[in-house]
Amino acid sequence: MKVLLTMFFSFIYLFAVDPIMLPLKGVKVIHQFSNGVKKEYTIQREVAANCMDVAINVENFQSGNLASKNIDDNCKKSFIVTKGTIQPLSLVKGVKSVAELEVLDFIANKSSKNPDKYILVDSRRSDWFNAGTIPSAVNIPYDELSYDEDFEFEYERAYELLGVKVLGKDKFDFSNAKTALFFCNGSWCAQSPRAIIKLVNIGYPKDKILWYRGGIAAWAGVSLTLTKKAEAKK
């Protein structure tokens, strides 16, 4: 019996995908845009062929703009660095912060396989979401979590997507709440923090909330796949 168990666990170990390999292996998902258009994506680290030989050295990585002007544009990105408010690593006690590999693992093994229990949430407003997001993310703008009689449909939709029943004003049933991983633009963005703080304040289980602090900026910073605005057209 002991031998059989050893063989079984060895098999599991050999064929399990280490999260560190996911950016290379790729994660296949179906993404739905705001207008209902669906598109298949493989989330992976997108590295142009002419970037493979860029050496990791001081000259290339530590110039005035971090990337040397001699490096091809395919191998680097530009970011605005002077806006927003830098967020803490730990947002709320009991809410776990995650990074890129954990997000990929969440998509590969949870949200894409069991969407009734797990959801990847882009907390930004729809114009940001439509401009480009992490494939398979669902758009629940942070401000739609607060009741507004002029946007009652959006309010009810937001909680329905999270698996939460709205029972009345400030009354909710969290018994079927999904484990939700939230993100927004980056470590300087307050949209996902606002969503998380709102949910915690109304009683959403903290152990069912994850936060990708790095957001779109960190995702793009390691050249992981993003949707594109043009692809949302019918």
User: Going by C-beta distance under 8 Å and a sequence separation of 6 or more, which residues neighbour residue 191?
Assistant: 123, 124, 125, 141, 142, 184, 185
Strands (E) in the chain, as ranges, are 27-32, 38-43, 96-98, 118-122, 138-139, 165-168, 171-173, 179-183, 209-212
Rounded Cα–Cα distance for residues 61 and 136 (Å): 32
pLDDT digits (tens, 9 = 90+) for 19-62: 788 888 889 999 999 888 999 999 998 888 888 887 867 566 55
Encoded tokens for 140: 């629940």
Q: Which residue has the higher pLDDT, 168 or 1?
A: 168
pLDDT band at residue 149 using 50, 70 and 90 as cut-offs? confident
pLDDT band at residue 65 using 50, 70 and 90 as cut-offs? low
pLDDT digits (tens, 9 = 90+) for 87-129: 999 999 999 999 999 999 999 999 999 999 999 999 999 999 9
User: Going by C-beta distance under 8 Å and a sequence separation of 6 or more, which residues neighbour residue 86?
Assistant: 187, 188
Q: What pTM was estimated for this model as a whole? A: 0.84
How crowded is residue 101: how many other Cβ atoms within 10 Å of its Cβ? Answer: 15
Q: What are phi and psi of 174, to 5 degrees?
A: -100, 15
Rounded Cα–Cα distance for residues 114 and 180 (Å): 12
3-state secondary structure of 171: strand
The number of residues making up the chain comes to: 234
- CB contact at 8 A, 231 and 112: no
pLDDT value at residue 78: 83
Strands (E) in 75-147, as ranges, are 96-98, 118-122, 138-139
Which single residue is written with the structure tokens 């152990």? 207
Domains and CATH numbers, the chain: 23-56+83-234 (3.40.250.10)
Pairing of strands 179-183, 118-122: parallel
pLDDT band at residue 154 using 50, 70 and 90 as cut-offs? very high
70-84, 108-122, 140-154: least confident range: 70-84
